[in-house]
A and B are shown apart, each in its own frame.
Chain A
Amino acid sequence: MAAESKTKYDRQLRIWGEQGQEALEKASICLLNCGPTGSEALKNLVLGGVGSITVVDGTKVEKHDLGNNFMLDEASLLQSKAKCVCAFLQELNDAVKAKFVEASPEALIEGNPLFFSSFTLVIATQLLETSLLKLDKICRQSNVKLLVARSYGLTGLVRISLKEHTVVESKPEHFVDDLRLQSPWPELKEFAKTIDLNEKDPIIHKHTPYVVVLIHIAEKWVDTHGGCLPTTRQEKKEFKDLIKAHMLDIDEENYKEAIESSYKVSIPHEISSQLHQIINDSAVEVNSASSDFWILVAALKEFIENEGAGEPPLEGSLPDMTSLTEFYVSLQKIYQAKAESDCRVMEHRVRTILKRIGREPDSISKSFIKNFCRNARKLTICRYRPIEDELSSPSVSELQKYMTDEEYSFSVSFYILLRAVDRFVANYNRFPGVFDNEIDDDISRLKTIAVGVLGDSGLHGSTLSDDLVNEMCRFGGGEIHAVAAFIGGVASQEAIKLITNQFVPLSGTLVFNGIDQKSQVLAL
C-alpha cells in the first residue's frame, strides 16, 4: 500500500488491517436511489476507499431535495440526481471509481436483471416491497449481497439479504483466552515444572506467570481430588484459597491474576455449541463446488475428532501477565509452537481433502489456513431467509413476543406500519399524509391496511397503537436528514462487515425508533 494511503486510512487500518482494506478496494457497490439515505451510506464507503460505486436514480433534483441531501446544492436543481450525487462523492476520494446511471431502479429490476450481477453488493434504499422482492431474487440468483435501507419520518430499517455469509475473523470483544489450563500439553507441563512455586527468591516468586501458578496448583488439586478439577462453587472457592496459601505477600500481582483467572482451570473440555453446530452443518460434506471456508471446516471437524482430542487447533497467543521477561517469552514460544504444529496438521488435512474432491491441493494458501486456525473457536455463519419468505410466513411466535414486550412494541409496530405504507402506496399511488387536508382520512385508511398486514402475518386480533398510526401519517413519507444519516450510517457499517468478511453483520431487521432511540433488531 502506498505511504499516503497508509496515512489517510490509518485510523481504519487499525480496525480491519490491510487485508480488510484490500477487500474494500476490490468491491464494487451499486446504490439504488440516491436520496439522503443512500447518499449518506455511499459517502461513508467512498471515504473508506471502496473500489467502485454506481449510483442509480432516475429522478431530477427538486427544491425539497436541498432540504435533506448534503450532496446537492442550488446548482443541482432540475439536474439528474444520480449525476450530482456522483460528482460530489467523487470529490471525496479520487481513488474510487464513481459512475452513475440515470434510470429508475424499478425499471432496471423489471427490464434488466443482469445489470446487477457484476456488483459485490447492492444497497437498495427507499424501495417499495414489490420491487424489493424481485431484486432479492435477482441478487440471490447471481450471488450478489443485498443490503436494504429505508428511512421514513422518525423510523426506518436496515436489513441484509443473502444466502450465506461466513466469517473467520469475527473479532468478538470478550472471548476467553485459549490457554488450555484444564488440559496442558506435555511441553507446557514440562515448562511449568522448571519453575518452583516454593521459590524463596521473592523477585522470582512474584514474577512467576499465573499460567504456571495455575498449572501447578491444578495438578496439586487433582492429586487430592480423585483426578478431578474444581467444579462446584465450594470447590472453586477452596481452589482460590489454595492459590492464596501460596502467596508470600498479599501484594503479589501474579497471584492476584491467578485468583482472577482461576475459573479458566474449570472451563469444560469441549467446544462451544456454536462451533459444534458449524462442524455438524450439512455443508461440511464438501465437494468440488464447496467454498474454501467449508473445506477448512471439514478439516477442522477431522482435527477435533482426531489430533485435537475434542479441541480445535490452539490459537497460540498469550495475554500479557505479570512475569519475568524470560519466563513470558519462553511461555509465548511454547504456545506459538503448539499452534504451529496444530496448523501443520490442519494443513495436511486440508490438502488431502482438496485432493479428494478433485481440486488442486495447493489451491488454499497457507496463510489462509493459519488465519483460520487462529480463529477456529470464533467462526461465525450468518444465513438469511429470502425476504419473500419472511413476509409471507414470518415467525408468528416471535412476532407475538415482540408485540407484548414493551421494549419491542414501537419497533415491531413500525415494522408492520412500514409494510402497511407500501400497500397504501400500491393502492393510492402516494404516501399517507402527504396532503394536510387528507391526513385524517389517511389515518383511518392506513389503520385498516395495517390490520390487514397484522392478519396476514398471523396476528389476528392484534392492534397497533393509534398514536403510532397517527405518527406514520404525520411523517408524510418524508426523509428527515438526521434519520437518513443514521440509517445510511448503519447500512455502511454493515456493508463494511459484509465486504471485509470481518466482524459479525446484523442478523435480523434493525428497526429504527427515532422517538426514544430504543431501536431493536427483529428476528423473523
Chain B
Amino acid sequence: MMNEKSESQQQHLETFSYDDDVTKLFVTATLIWGAVAMFLGVLVAFQLADWRLNFGIEWLTFGRLRPLHTNAAIFAFAGNGFFAGIYHSMQRLLKCRMFNDTLGRIHFWGWQLIIVCAAITLPMGLSRSKEYAELEWPIGIMITIVWVVFAVNFFGTLFKRREKHIYVAIWFYIATIVTVAVLHIVNSLAIPVSWTKSYSIYAGVQDALVQWWYGHNAVAFFLTTPFLGLMYYFVPKAANRPIYSYRLSIIHFWSLVFLYIWAGPHHLLYSALPEWVQTLGVVFSISLWAPSWGGMINGLLTIRGVWHRLRTDHTLKFLATALTFYGMSTFEGPLLSIKSVNSLAHFTSWIVGHVHSGTIGWNYFMVAGIFYYLIPYLWKTKLYSQKLGHLHFWTATIGLLFYIVSMWVAGVTQGLMWRAIDQTTGMLVYPNFVETVIRIVPMYWIRAFGGVLVLTSFLIMMYNFYKTIQGAPKKVKPEEFQAPALHAQKHEATQGHRKLEGLPAIFSVLVVIAILVGSAIEILPGLLSNHFIEENPDIKPLTALEQAGRDIYTREGCFYCHSQMIRPMPHETMRYGKRSTAAEYVYDHPFQWGSRRTGPDLARIGGKYPNMWHYRHMIDPREMTPGSIMPVYDWLIYREIDFEILPEKLTALRKVGVPYSDEEIQNAVADAKEQAESVSYMLTETGVDASIQDKEIVALIAYLQRLGVDAGESTEFQFTEENLEAEE
C-alpha cells in the first residue's frame, strides 16, 4: 500500500534523516544510571539486613540513600530509558527528524545535571521529605524547565510530521508529558526558607492526598504510560507484525488514562483521610485491573505465531517477560487496594516486593528488551554475545523472584505478627515491635541476595552492550529516508477519532481533561474546604526548637522507616495508642505519615520514654532495644542546632498557614535556647556534658517528646516497670 501511495506522489517526496545521536546519548546514560541505581538498591538492602553497613557515615545512612535509590531508579534509569525509546520511535512513527537537535541536547544534559544534583543533595539530607518528590525547590524548578524543553521539542516534532495518523504509542507519550507536568508542579508547591530548605504549602491530610495523587501517578505516568507507548512500538517491531488489536489499544488508552489518576488514595487506606476519598481510590484501583490487563493481553497476543523466537530473540524474550510481570503487578496492585487486604499488607515489605515486581519486572525488562533491539540497530552492528544475553535474562529473572518471594513472606509474616491478639488474654502476642523485626531479618538477607543477582544481570548486560558498541563500525553515514510532506498528501475524508488523531493540540487537551476529572473530584474539596477536617483546639503548632527537631527528622528520612499514622484497628491502638485523627496534622508541612514500618509507629511516642532513653537510643539503638536494626545516629551528638535560621523558618511556616504570632517569631531563638536547656537538663543530671544543649539531638528529642502529646494521650512519662528498667 505504501508503494501505491508513494508512486502517485513521487514528485512530492522529501528526503530526511533521523537524529539518532540523541538516542545514543540517552541509551548510554540509562546504562550508567541503571547500574548506579541498582548498586544503591543493593547497598540499602544490605543495610536493612545489617545495620553497620552505613560504615558510621551519615551520608551513607539508609534514610538518605533510600531516596537516592528510588530517584535514581525512577528518574535516572527509567527516565533516560524511555527518553531513548521515545526519541527513537517517535521520529520513525512520524516519519520526520526531531523538531530541533539542540533542544534534544539541552533536554539530555539538563536531565543529567538534575540527576547529579540529586546525587549530591540527597545524601546531604536536603530533602522535601515527600516520596519520589524529595528534591528541593531549585532542582524542582530545573526539572520543570527541562520538561518544558522536552515538551517543546516533542510537540514541535508532532507539528512538522509527515505521517498523518498519530499512532497509539504517541498518545501514551502525550499523556506522559502533560500529566507529569501537572503532577510535578502541583505537588512541588512550597514556600522556600533558603536555597536548600522549603515547606510544602499543603499540610497534613491535604499534603498526604496531594502527595499520593502525585506518588501513585508517578508510577502511572512515569513508569507505565511511556513504557506502554514503547510497548506498542517495540513489540510489533520485534515480532514484525502489527499490534494484535488496534481497537483494543484505543479502549486501553482512554480507560487507563482516565482511571489511573483516581487511584492515589489507596496509599492512605484506614488513615485520617476522609472515608469517601478512600472509597473512590479503592473503586478506581480495582477498575484499573481491566485496562492494565487489556494492554498486557494486546501486547502478548501480538507475539502469537512467533513464540518460538522467544528462545533466540532477546528483545522478544525480555518484552514478553516484562509484559508478564506487568500483568502480575497490575493484578497485585488492585488486590492490595482492597481494604481488608490492605489492612494486612500496608506498612509491610509486601508493598516493597510489589513495587519491585513492577520496577524490575516491567521497567528494567522493558528497557533491556528495547535496548537489545536498539543498540545493534543504532550502532549498525550485531550483538556481541548471544550467550551472555541468555545469562543476563536468567540472572535477572531468578534474582527478581528471590526478591519478590522473600518480600511476600516477610510482609505477610510481619503483618500477621503485628495483628496477632491472644484469644484468652486479649493482649498482643508480640507486644515488642522488635520481635517482628528480628523474625524477618533472614528475609532481608534473601532479598539482598536477589538484589545482587539483579545487579549482576545488569552488569552482564552492560558488558555485552559495551563489547557490541566497541565492535561496531566507526563513522557510518546516517541513513536517509523519503516520505511525502504532510500538506502534499491527498486529504481523505476524515472523521471521528481519525480526525482527532490528526489534531495533536485538541487530543492533548482531551487527555488533560481526562486526568483532571479525577484529580478535581478527589483533591479540590479537601483543598477548598477545611471543614472536612474537624478542628481540635488542643492541637498547637510546634515550638521553635521542636520545629528544628522536625527538620532534623525530615533530613534524616526517619519517615522511610517510621510511620506517624495509627490506624483504627484494635492491634494498632493497643500497640501505639488512640487512633490518629485528621485534626492532629493540620500544622504538618509536610505530612510524615510514612509508608513502611521498618520500625514502630511514632505518632504517639511523645512522653513514652524519658529523654535519656532517646539520647542513648540514638547513640546505640541496641542498648535500648536489643535486636534493633536501626543505624547509629551519633552525629546528632556533635552537630550544632542552627538557631539563627529559626525565625525565618517560622515566618515561612506562617506563610503556609501555621499561626505563629509576631512575638513567637521574634523570640524564636531565645525560646528555642530556653527549651533546649530544659530538655538537656535531664541528660546533664545523669552525667552528659553540658555542651549537649546546643546539639541537634536535643532538638530531635524535643520534637519526639511532643509527638501525639496534644491529642491528649500519654502526656506524661509513664513510670511503668518496663520504662524504669529501660531508664536504668
- Do they bind each other? no
